[in-house]
């Protein structure tokens, strides 16, 4: 069972101090938060992707590449990578590069996001959002598994003899989660490929995700990847922790009350109706164990802890409390009730082991003399008559 944190990268005014951080301050803050998560023993740090104010994470691989350089063991992921408006060729290239830089400490969650206007910004039609999600992932899946790809589809121009570079580390692609808040086709897609399914488990009322997760488990088994209980499920959450629940309520309430999304509801009612946890470490543990009762054994639990304009020092305190007071208890309690045969989240090491056993992993070496992807003609041949003598073809 993995535990970690995710951020949506919002730049929000602090309603208590009145301070609105700059983008530079928030970027520095999120790096500090990821470092602290690594230091206190959390398993995963994930960042969202947005291309509009008030968010800053328009380039997740750049940010995660830097975080990889300043952390040691934490898995780096996304929450979410936009499979609809990103070219799957670029996703294949960028996340394979990140996988190399992070020495395998990478997976990603793909999804459609929740920003309507991002589609025309990237030349796409939101009415084709589901089709884009399905077709683009199909191409991404092949680009990571086939050295040379021929492909025709509706969402982008075709590919002839295309090789995505760099090839995945050890020729094993990053593990992929599919995130959705309401769409059974995405749960079916995750099940078909044997990938993970992530229910964000925030904002929506209890019960909202029950049918989607159950449907994914059924289809995972139907496609022959294992039993329902062996399906790979992740859940989100939103927490604010203090030594006791009274202090947590007192400190968090101004942020909750000032946030427009929560207008018209009380903190008490919202906590009762949704997965939001505000209270002592014991309260957060109890509510998270309730997630397990609702969804069954699952593999990954991520919390958002830096939303609503909370200052960075408060967010760092939240990470500390998760790592020292909440997660150690949850590890014990989850392990005590876990059914036999429930798998862990696939990691780079486990995927390499599953593919190669004790053999040495394949290390792709694309032929540097192959030339371009269509004709095999070197870019030097037309411009340099001495090319054949100076750079003889090999193979």
Averaged pLDDT in 10-residue chunks for the chain of 395 residues = 97 97 98 98 97 95 98 97 97 98 98 87 92 97 97 94 96 97 95 97 91 97 98 97 97 96 94 96 98 97 97 98 98 97 97 96 76 52 44 39
Structure tokens at 219: 């289809």
Say how many C-beta atoms besides its own lie within 10 A of residue 24's C-beta.
9
Q: Which domains does the chain have, with CATH numbers?
A: 2-362 (3.20.20.30), 365-395 (no CATH)
Residue 270: exposure state from Cβ atoms within 10 A (0-12, 13-18, ≥19): middle
Distance CA 24, CA 193 (A): 39
Maximum C-alpha span of the chain: 79
CB 225 within 8 A of CB 194: yes
Q: Which residues of 68-97 are buried (b: 16+ CB within 10 A; e: fewer)?
A: beebeebbbbbbbbbbbbbebbebbbbbbb
Helix ranges (H only) for 102-224 are: 118-121, 129-143, 184-193, 210-222
Instruction: Name the pTM for this structure.
Output: 0.92
Residue 198: exposure state from Cβ atoms within 10 A (0-12, 13-18, ≥19): buried
Distance CA 188, CA 186 (A): 5
Q: Which residues contact 134 (CB under 8 A, 6 or more apart)?
A: 185, 189
Distance CA 172, CA 272 (A): 43
Nearest to 149 by CA among 134, 159, 136, 140: 159
Say how many C-beta atoms besides its own lie within 10 A of residue 383's C-beta.
8
CB 133 within 8 A of CB 86: no
Q: Which residues, listed in sequence order, are joined to residue 160 by a DSSP beta bridge?
A: none
CB 235 within 8 A of CB 300: yes
Residue 64: exposure state from Cβ atoms within 10 A (0-12, 13-18, ≥19): buried
- Using alpha carbons only, what angle is made at residue 200 by residues 225 and 75, rounded to the nearest 5 degrees? 70
β pairing state of 75-78 and 44-47:
parallel
């Amino acid at each position: 069972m993995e535990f970690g944190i995710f951020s949506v990268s919002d730049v929000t005014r602090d309603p208590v101090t009145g301070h609105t951080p700059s983008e530079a301050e928030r970027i520095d803050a999120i790096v500090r938060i990821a470092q602290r998560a690594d230091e206190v023993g959390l398993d995963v740090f994930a960042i969202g992707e947005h291309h509009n104010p008030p968010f800053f994470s328009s380039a997740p691989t750049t940010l995660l590449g830097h975080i990889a350089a300043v952390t040691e063991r934490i898995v780096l992921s996304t929450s979410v990578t936009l499979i609809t408006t990103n070219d799957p060729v670029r996703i294949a290239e960028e996340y394979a590069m990140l996988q190399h830089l992070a020495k395998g400490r990478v997976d990603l969650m793909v999804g459609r996001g929740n920003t309507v206007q991002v589609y025309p910004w990237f030349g796409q039609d939101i009415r084709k959002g589901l089709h884009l999600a399905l077709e683009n992932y199909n191409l991404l899946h092949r680009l990571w598994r086939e050295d040379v790809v021929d492909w025709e589809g509706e969402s982008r121009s075709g590919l002839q003899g295309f090789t995505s570079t760099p090839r995945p580390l050890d020729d094993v692609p990053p593990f992929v989660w599919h995130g959705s808040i309401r769409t059974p086709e995405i749960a079916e897609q995750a099940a078909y490929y044997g990938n993970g399914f992530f229910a964000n488990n925030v904002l929506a009322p209890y019960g909202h995700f029950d049918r989607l997760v159950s449907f994914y488990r059924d289809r995972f088994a139907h496609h022959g990847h294992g039993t329902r209980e062996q399906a790979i499920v992740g859940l989100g959450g939103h927490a604010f922790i203090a030594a006791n629940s009274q202090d947590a309520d007192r400190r968090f309430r101004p942020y909750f009350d000032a946030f427009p999304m929560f207008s018209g509801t009380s903190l008490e009612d919202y906590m009762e109706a949704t997965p939001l946890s505000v209270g002592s470490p014991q309260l957060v543990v109890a509510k998270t164990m309730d997630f397990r009762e609702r969804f069954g054994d699952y593999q990954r639990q991520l919390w958002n802890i830096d939303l609503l304009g909370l200052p960075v020092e408060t967010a760092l305190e939240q990470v500390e409390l998760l790592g020292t007071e909440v997660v150690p208890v949850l590890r014990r309690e989850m392990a005590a009730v876990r059914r036999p045969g429930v798998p862990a989240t696939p990691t780079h090491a486990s995927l390499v082991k599953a593919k190669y056993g004790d053999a040495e992993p394949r290390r792709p070496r694309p032929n540097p003399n192959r030339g371009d992807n269509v004709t095999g003609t070197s870019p030097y041949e037309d411009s340099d008559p001495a090319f054949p003598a100076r750079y003889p073809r090999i193979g």
